[in-house]
Chain A
Amino acid sequence: MNYGPLLFLGILLTLASSWFGLVLMPNKQLGNLDVHTDTNTLAVYPQARNGEAQQGEEHYRSLGCIYCHSQQVRTEGYGSDIARGWGRRRSVSRDYIYNKTVMLGTMRTGPDLTNIGERQPDYGWQYKHLYNPQITSAGSVMPPYAFLFETVKIGAHGPNTNALVLPPEFSVEKGYEVVPSIKARQLVEYLRSLKSSVDVPEAEIKKEEAK
């Protein structure tokens, strides 16, 4: 192997093989995947996110939620994703066509969030959990995101409608209240938009489960 050009050629051809097979081919097969329209109801899936939720997706990315939360449900019988209630069917490629950055995740220090919008739609729960996870999930190792909230003096017109209803041991100084910042509101809109319990041809929800 003292012949440079041969070495050079071999080096380029080997990488070219997987560049073709694992980069170009998947892009050809999946890169133009489109929405699915239900022939009976004419419902279109997936739907693009609204503006608030799109902003929230940016905060999810910026705060690095991906390092502890996955967004992919594995098929029934492989792991316990469906048995844990993280989804009613496995995730498919089509679920992600509207994601600006696809954050499938590789870690489950926290639970999977593919369907968190369906599993936990309550604003109050989401805000309290973000403000301090110990309020809703004692023993969690999720960091508090109190910096996404503001502690403000209660105004003359009484408490803000968005203000957090905190249990006594987490309450703030009397006369003050904790309100979510715009970032927290957008992030929760994004979390609430995460749901995939819609039948698609490649993965249908089991009928007995749907009942």
Chain B
Amino acid sequence: MSASVKSPAVRALLPGDVSPETSAPTLTADIDASCRAPVLFFFVSGLAWLLIGTIFALISAYKMHSPDFLGNCEWLTFGRVRPAHLTTVVYGFAMETSIAVLIWLMCRLCRTPLIAPGIITIANFFWNLGLTVGVVGILAGDSTGIEWLEMPKYSTPILFISYALIAVWAIITFRLRAEKHLYVSQWYLLAAVLWFPWLYGTAQVMLLLSPVRGVVQAGVNWWFAHNVLGLWFTPVGLAAIYYFIPKVIGRPIHSYYLSVLGFWTLALFYNWNGFHHLVGGPLPAWMITVSIVASIMMLIPVTAVAINHHFTMVGHFGKMRYSPTLRFIVFGAMSYTVASVQGSLSALRSVSEVTHFTHHTIAHAHVGMYAFFTMVMFGSMYYILPRVTQREWPSARLISLHFWGSALGIILYVVPLSYGGILQGQALNDASIPFLKVVALTLPYLKIRTFAGVILALGHVAFAVNIVWMLVRVFGPYRKPLQMIISGSEQPAAVGK
């Protein structure tokens, strides 16, 4: 491998920390060790938010078909638990985990041990503080009433400060990089770091600090909400996929040109998508049409990325049996294609006429945020955690339980609910069907969803037990002697991959 890795053409297709002549195991080990505390802080608090968010999810799912459940408690009424669920899983779990993955990938790919860990630790503290204030605010009734931005305005400046620290850290690390070659994952990470504050800042100013008038609010709302998916979560998720697939199977990315095409077309088209959430709404047609066009154009980056990932994997799918990282990441990568194609199609006026305002949209959101993004984050954690803690995963059985709980749970969640949503939409569009009949029609699908939620929750608990067990081995009173993982080595380690 060492000979081929020297050629520049191949260098462009491999993560920066791969080439043996510069990748002294001690350097990668040093980088992992330097990331230990900051990455652990974000992973562990992210995990806590995942569990809290799962509880909110189960409560709201159950209320959806049994509205009397906890009906007397104002703090736990459906209209508050649901945004609390979204806020905890999106800004708690997904955001914190993605920050940890971003930090670790940045250090590895820039070949720089983590600088100023104190900054990240402070950022973590403030992020959790802001989020706690925000979630309690929502439950207490201070939600802003703006989807994806429910946290009250007294909590969001704390979050913004915290994010600014991360962004400044990431840009400094990028500037200090020892590896001059930029790998595709770094393009996505740098883009996400720069896009998010622009999105969040615009939304905060134009919706909360000095609200714009009338339906412009709805426009800014969906420009932000769709872009936080497309320009933060998607790039970080794709960066992780582009890093871990070649890393685990030890093979370069299929095509450099498809990577370039995929990146720039995503950058061009995704940020114009947001108004497809307003199809049929009270805004001028040009605004909505331009978003529909951009949504269809998204088929270009999605196809490019799908082909690139698939042809990198071809012939290596068998490795998913031994590598939890690969299993989760490939599941996520495939779901990315599904979520994106479903999203592009739902933007069409003829499809939106049926699916808009139904549970189909909720199912679609979970294909994107869970089947794609969350699964990729889980896969990344299976790779990163053993390296930063220098411990193997304690239980292979819990890993299996986690994978199957999450994979089967999310399939059981999205498939019936997508279908039920279409039936609901068709019934709603037939004015001869009384409204309460439409409600009754959706009930079986809502009950299946609650059941799927329980399976997902089991997977999350298995994951949490495994992580806590691992941490007990690191910090607990009866520390096990260090397991031998050659950090950053290309030798397949049985469990840690």
How does the 8 Å CB contact mask read for B139-152 relative to A, with 1 for contact and 0 for none?
00111111100000
Is residue B320 within 8 Å, beta carbon to beta carbon, of the partner chain?
A: no
Choice from B79, B278, B429 contacting A64 with Cβ under 8 Å: B79
Chain B contacts for A1, CB-based, 8 A: 182, 187, 260
Is residue B21 within 8 Å, beta carbon to beta carbon, of the partner chain?
A: no
Q: Is the CB of B267 within 8 A of A30?
A: no
Chain B contacts for A93, CB-based, 8 A: 214-215, 282-284
Q: Is the CB of A147 within 8 A of B72?
A: yes
Do A106 and B202 form a contact, CB below 8 Å, given A4-B174, A32-B213, A143-B63?
no
Q: Is the CB of B283 within 8 A of A26?
A: yes
Is residue A108 within 8 Å, beta carbon to beta carbon, of the partner chain?
A: yes
Q: Which of B277-316 contact A (CB under 8 A)?
A: 277-278, 280-284, 287, 290-291
Interface of A is mostly: loop
- In order of increasing CB-CB distance, the 6 nearest A-B pairs are A64-B79, A61-B145, A83-B431, A62-B141, A108-B357, A74-B280
Q: Nearest residue in B to A74 (C-beta to C-beta)?
A: B280
Q: Is the CB of B361 within 8 A of A107?
A: yes
Tell me the count of chain B residues lying within 8 A, CB to CB, of chain A.
Answer: 84
Is residue B74 within 8 Å, beta carbon to beta carbon, of the partner chain?
A: yes
A132 CA / B227 CA spacing, docked (Å) = 39
Is residue A99 within 8 Å, beta carbon to beta carbon, of the partner chain?
A: yes
Interface of B is mostly: helix
Q: Please give 15 more A-B residue pairs, beta carbons under 8 A apart, in addition to A64-B77, A79-B353.
A: A15-B271, A23-B219, A30-B213, A30-B215, A33-B214, A64-B79, A67-B79, A78-B280, A80-B428, A93-B282, A95-B282, A96-B214, A101-B217, A106-B147, A107-B361
Choice from A79, A96, A103 contacting B282 with Cβ under 8 Å: A96
Chain B contacts for A138, CB-based, 8 A: 436
Is residue A120 within 8 Å, beta carbon to beta carbon, of the partner chain?
A: no
Do A80 and B430 form a contact, CB below 8 Å, given A1-B182, A102-B217?
yes
Chain B contacts for A19, CB-based, 8 A: 198, 202, 223, 271
Choice from A11, A22, A92, A94 contacting B274 with Cβ under 8 Å: A22
Is residue B89 within 8 Å, beta carbon to beta carbon, of the partner chain?
A: no
How does the 8 Å CB contact mask read for A159-181 relative to B, with 1 for contact and 0 for none?
00000000000000000000000
Q: Is the CB of B206 within 8 A of A66?
A: no
Q: Is the CB of A104 within 8 A of B213?
A: no
Do A30 and B216 form a contact, CB below 8 Å, given A78-B280, A104-B282?
yes
A68 CA / B81 CA spacing, docked (Å) = 13
